[in-house]
Amino acid sequence: MTSSRRGNRRRRPILISVSAVVVATGSIVVAALGGFTEAPEKPPPSVRVGEEIDQDLFRTTVVDAVVRTVPQSGSTLGNAGGEQTVLDVTLKVFNNATSSVPTLYLDRSLLRIAPPQGPALVEALPGPGAEANATPSPRSSGPVWRHEIFVPASGVNSRLLPPRLTSTVVVRFPVRDGLTPPERLTIDFGEYELYEDWLTKRTRPELVTDHELKKVVAARVTVPVKREAG
């Protein structure tokens, strides 16, 4: 799985000069004495609905978020038969890689999906690594949001993004008892980069992190939630 655009990008060791160490040491002393205050963190770039987001591995566009009624499937998120109310977030995703990519990689890049107030529908696990996948909202005694991500298809939905093509992707949240769809959602997108294993020399995509190993938000989109006429 490789990306043609920035295929050679990899993490490099950071070189620190002696003078930088001296300055840093002095800064620690000054900070301990209360001389400096921490600079406020800059908000991530804001992107409008319909604008493209560069995630390196993907080029992603938020189309809409809609509450609708659909036939109940036999997936793990619902029982077969009847109808269910769902909140669907629809994306257009271009796969930059030269091979098919599982939708799991897109799922991991959805760092947070949340209303302006209240608990998140999706939050990424802390820390780096392949296991840092987008997960449901934090555990609580009440009902929590669950989601699945797929490429709609006639018959069986797909969980693969074909190479060099734009796919429609749906992030689906069943609206179970006790849950109320919000009026708006804010979505934080991460960005991938190619990481080269120093031992095997193989490359793999990993989400970009900062010096504290927190995943970097490449773009933030706020999308209104529509109600489909029934």
Polymer length in residues for the chain: 230
**Count of C-beta atoms within a 10 Å radius of residue 141:** 5
Contact (Cβ atoms closer than 8 angstroms) between residue 138 and residue 124: no
Does the pLDDT value for residue 69 go beyond 60? yes
Between CA 108 and CA 88 the distance in angstroms is 17
Q: How far is CA 133 from the centre of its chain?
A: 9
Contact (Cβ atoms closer than 8 angstroms) between residue 137 and residue 144: yes
Does the pLDDT value for residue 24 go beyond 60? no
Lowest mean pLDDT among 18-22, 63-67, 185-189: 18-22
Task: Look at 125 and 162; give whichever has higher pLDDT.
Answer: 162
**Count of C-beta atoms within a 10 Å radius of residue 7:** 14
Confidence band for 29, pLDDT divided at 50, 70 and 90: very low
The residues with which 179 forms a beta bridge, in sequence order, are none
Confidence band for 34, pLDDT divided at 50, 70 and 90: low
What are the structural domain ranges in the chain? 18-227
Does the pLDDT value for residue 138 go beyond 70? no
pLDDT in tens, 77-106: 555 568 999 999 999 999 999 999 999 999
Between CA 115 and CA 136 the distance in angstroms is 14
Tokens of 129: 């690594």
pLDDT in tens, 159-213: 999 999 999 999 999 999 889 999 999 999 999 998 888 888 888 899 999 998 8
Which residue bears the tokens 């930088």?
Answer: 20
